[in-house]
Amino acid sequence: MQRLQGKVAIVTGSGRGIGQAIAVKLASDGARVIVNDLDAAPAEETIGRIRQAGGEAAACLGDVTAPDFGQRIVATALERFGGLDIIVNNAGYAWDNVVQKMTDEQWYAMLDVHATAPFRILRAAADHIREAAKKEKAEGRSVMRKVVNISSIAIYGQPGQLGYAAGKSAVIGMTKTMAKEWGRYNVNVNCVAFGLIHTRMTQPMGSGEAVARIGEREFKIGIQPEFLEHMNRSIPLGRGGTPEEAAGAVYLMCIPESDYITGQMVLASGGFVM
């Protein structure tokens, strides 16, 4: 029997990379997944992969930082699949600069996507989770639900990533607080902090000059080759991870075997800590 059979999951930022791998992994174990991306094409690609493997998925397109997005994605899960059991707050990106050059726009963009967006989704889900838990208790049933917030080893400090590190650090405080608020409703709230995972966001700069578009903004993405080489040398396992390995760490926090783990941060970094 699939461990997540009958569960409904939200995975933000799941049109590409790690988010896509998480959505596909959860669906492969029986979850019905709400896929999110800014654009229709990446979301449809993820949904296509899930359906091709026999799973169920639906899209909720849009910017996670929009004020109404939290309500919209929760409503999509309830309307399309009749429930909500797993929330993976994965959407995010890095917009780097040293402090003297960082604008207010950059600073708030990092806090908005990494902290405010997950907050709004959790707030939007609160009524459903509370009412579902009360109903299940009255019926003599215990149903565990899961929240997995995504952080980064940037929390340990990296020059040029003040805003990104602040946003990803906020996620940890949110995780520990929500674990205490929602424990009474049988919700495990945990955080997975990734190290070097090989995606388009972490490719060497100069190898194709990948560009990210967030709203009206457009900027180059990637890592300086020298720093990437240093990271690879410093990882005890000897290499960066794959999106599928990153998804595996999130999956561990979603299955019944983690039902007594809450309020924790798990590093998925191959042993690397900055």
Cross-strand partners of 212: 219
C-beta separation of 73 from 12 below 8 A: yes
Catalytic residue among 164, 185, 251, 260: 164
Concerning whether 185 is annotated as a catalytic residue, the answer is: no
Helix 117-138 with 162-182: angle, nearest 10 deg: 10
Within 8 A by CB and 6+ apart from 193, the residues are 150, 151, 152, 153, 155, 168, 172, 265, 266, 267, 268, 269
Whole-angstrom Cα distance, residue 23 to residue 208? 27
**Cα angle for residues 72, 211, 267 (degrees, 5° grid):** 65
Within 8 A by CB and 6+ apart from 98, the residues are 159, 160, 162
Within 8 A by CB and 6+ apart from 150, the residues are 18, 88, 89, 90, 92, 171, 191, 192, 193, 194, 250
Q: Where are the beta strands (DSSP E) in 217-259?
A: 217-220
CA distances from 192 to 18, 89, 116, 149, 197 (A): 12, 10, 18, 6, 13
Q: Which two tokens stand for residue 228?
A: 């990437």
The DSSP output letter for 156 is G
Residues with a known catalytic role: 164
